[in-house]
Amino acid sequence: MTTPRFYMYQNELVLEALNEKDRYVCFIFRFGKWLHYENVIDPVVTGTHLTETEATAWLAQIWSRDFRQELSTAEAKRKLFCWKNKPRHVLRSQQFDREFLEKYLFCESNRIQVLMAQRGGRESLRQTCRHRILLTHFYEPSTRTRLSFEFAALHLGMHVLTTENAAEFSSAIKGESAEDTIRILSGYHPDAIVVRHKQDGIIDRMARFSSVPLINGGEGTVQHPTQALLDVYTIFSEKKQIDGLTVVFGGDLKYGRTVRSLAYLLSKFDGVKLVFVSHPAFKMGEDLKDHLRERKVEFEETESVNNALRQADVVYWTRVQKERMSEDLAKESEKIISRFTIGREELRNMKQDAILMHPLPRLREIRSDADLDPRSAYFRQAENGLYVRMALLQWVTEPEID
Ligand code: CP
């Protein structure tokens, strides 16, 4: 007799164990009934329907205790015999706590990274989410986020459908609201939907109408939670810790969403210091700074690139988001950028064990002569996006037993 395993597999509730004769037995909850399988190769062919009473009696037998007592309350019964389809949306970086990051995301992303380096590992990963469906629906251009999600889904055995230019090639162009669109799309029963949109706050509104997990793939100037997750994983895998690090953020801190999302996540760690380096036109917003004050996270603001680089354990540089500002400021930014550029020369000011990150795409703010320096981690960071998004897709497509 073994302890029974109780888990979700491909959207179905499964209970399996060895019975008193050491024979494999398994229950699958399907079509509102428990199917009972015993020592069979192909349970779908030979399974028989059990009533709830029969299933309960059988479970009592293999668990060698009176399982019926546990089912005496409505709550216990609901836990065993049904699960709510409560979608696990990914809307903002603040929703994740340290426990999720350290106990699930970092371990699982690392496991996936190791498996992806081996052919057998890649084959086993392809069974993980077989036959599930991912829809990517992007109203704004993307290379990394959309394609790494799509590769992540394919490596997990999922099917992928995509609208890569939803602003033009969906009924948004005819004036359909994003809320109506998501109602329609989630009604087609994908297992998850990733959306990118230029409007602040719209993904929250869409999530209210989505019956399947909705993942924010970048939203206006406010949030890019999956980027923040891959960033924090990159920091952890490169530095082996996050507590106590000094993280220097530079570039366009006003219109960029990646710095904000990552700063929210870093504020959950102990003794982290944040340094914001920017021209006054691109300063970090007061709302984020208020959040840091509330959480008693030390931070400072400066215009001196080299002073900031000297104290950094992690440097996180960003491009100017010309697409989100006035034409005049976009033109002016050309002059500003030259003061906020990092290359081989500036890297001399960084500690030997510091790392240089960038969410990419980069323009001129990191010169290509920095690429060969082992501290330049931005291409490793982009690759981590695949592993982190694979871990995330597994998590969101597992229905929550509530
Ligand atoms: N870092 C990032 O979000 O890149 P894409 O715009 O290419 O998705």
Tens digit of pLDDT per residue, the chain (402 long)?
455 666 666 556 677 766 666 666 777 776 566 677 665 444 333 345 666 677 667 666 666 655 555 555 555 555 555 444 468 899 999 999 999 999 999 999 999 999 999 999 999 999 999 999 999 999 999 999 999 999 999 999 999 999 999 999 999 999 999 999 999 999 999 999 999 999 999 999 999 899 899 999 999 999 999 999 999 999 999 999 999 999 999 999 999 999 999 999 999 999 999 999 999 999 999 999 999 999 999 999 999 999 999 999 999 999 988 787 788 877 887 778 888 999 999 999 999 999 999 999 999 899 999 999 999 999 999 999 999 999 999 999 875 443
| 208-240 residues labelled b (16+ CB within 10 A) or e (exposed) | ebbebbbbbbbbbbbbbbbbbbbbbbbbbbbbe
Distance 379 CA to ligand 1 centre (A): 12
Nearest CA to ligand 1 atom 3: 145
Q: Within this chain, do residues 110 and 159 fall inside the same structural domain, yes or no?
A: yes
> Sheet containing 159-163: which strands, arranged edge to edge?
159-163, 133-138, 192-197, 214-219
Tell me if 264 is assigned to some domain: yes
Predicted pLDDT of residue 400: 46
Distance 191 CA to ligand 1 centre (A): 23
Q: Within this chain, do residues 208 and 74 fall inside the same structural domain, yes or no?
A: no
Give the whole-angstrom CA distance, residue 80 versus residue 361.
47
The best mutation among 93, 136, 142, 323 to test binding of ligand 1, ranked by most ligand atoms within 8 Å of the C-beta, falls on 142
Q: Within this chain, do residues 145 and 168 fall inside the same structural domain, yes or no?
A: yes
Active site residues: 144-145, 174, 196, 224
Query: In the numeric block, which tokens belong to residue 399?
Result: 């229905």
Q: Within this chain, do residues 124 and 37 fall inside the same structural domain, yes or no?
A: no
Tell me if 179 is assigned to some domain: yes
Tell me if 54 is assigned to some domain: yes
Predicted pLDDT of residue 49: 60
Q: Within this chain, do residues 236 and 157 fall inside the same structural domain, yes or no?
A: no
The best mutation among 138, 140, 143 to test binding of ligand 1, ranked by most ligand atoms within 8 Å of the C-beta, falls on 143
Tell me if 52 is assigned to some domain: yes
Q: Within this chain, do residues 128 and 246 fall inside the same structural domain, yes or no?
A: no
85: how many CB neighbours lie within 10 A of its CB?
11
Give the number of the atom of ligand 1 that is nearest the alpha carbon of residue 359: 1
143 lines ligand 1 (CB under 6 A): yes
**Last residue within a domain, chosen from 84, 119, 141:** 84
- Using an 8 Å Cβ cutoff, are 373 and 352 in contact? no
Q: Within this chain, do residues 240 and 219 fall inside the same structural domain, yes or no?
A: no
Q: Within this chain, do residues 126 and 68 fall inside the same structural domain, yes or no?
A: no
Give the whole-angstrom CA distance, residue 349 versus residue 301.
18
Predicted pLDDT of residue 326: 81
CA neighbor of 347 nearest in space, from 388, 320, 380, 310: 310
**Last residue within a domain, chosen from 65, 84, 103:** 84
Distance 343 CA to ligand 1 centre (A): 22
Predicted pLDDT of residue 15: 74
Total domains in the fold of the chain: 3
| 134-159 residues labelled b (16+ CB within 10 A) or e (exposed) | bbbbbbbebebbbebbbebbebbebe
Distance 81 CA to ligand 1 centre (A): 42
Tell me if 200 is assigned to some domain: yes
Predicted pLDDT of residue 159: 97
Q: Within this chain, do residues 273 and 205 fall inside the same structural domain, yes or no?
A: no
Give the whole-angstrom CA distance, residue 204 versus residue 223.
11
Q: Within this chain, do residues 199 and 211 fall inside the same structural domain, yes or no?
A: yes
Give the whole-angstrom CA distance, residue 114 versus residue 117.
5
389 lines ligand 1 (CB under 6 A): no
Task: State the CATH number of the domain containing residue 128.
Answer: 3.40.50.1370
Give the whole-angstrom CA distance, residue 254 versus residue 193.
28
Residues 6+ apart with CB under 8 A from 203: 91, 195, 197, 214, 216, 219, 223
186 lines ligand 1 (CB under 6 A): no
Dihedral sign for Cα atoms in the order 107, 109, 115, 121: positive
CA neighbor of 320 nearest in space, from 227, 391, 256, 259: 256
Predicted pLDDT of residue 43: 39
Q: Dihedral (C-alpha) 143, 149, 153, 155: value to the nearest 10 degrees?
A: 60
**Last residue within a domain, chosen from 54, 84, 114:** 84
Tell me if 402 is assigned to some domain: no
Q: Within this chain, do residues 164 and 246 fall inside the same structural domain, yes or no?
A: no
Expressed as residue numbers, the domain containing 194 is: 93-225+385-397
Distance 218 CA to ligand 1 centre (A): 8
Tell me if 13 is assigned to some domain: yes
359 lines ligand 1 (CB under 6 A): yes
Q: Dihedral (C-alpha) 371, 145, 257, 362: value to the nearest 10 degrees?
A: 30
Biggest distance spanned by C-alpha atoms of the chain = 79
Give the number of the atom of ligand 1 that is nearest the alpha carbon of residue 385: 1
319 lines ligand 1 (CB under 6 A): no
Q: Within this chain, do residues 280 and 373 fall inside the same structural domain, yes or no?
A: yes
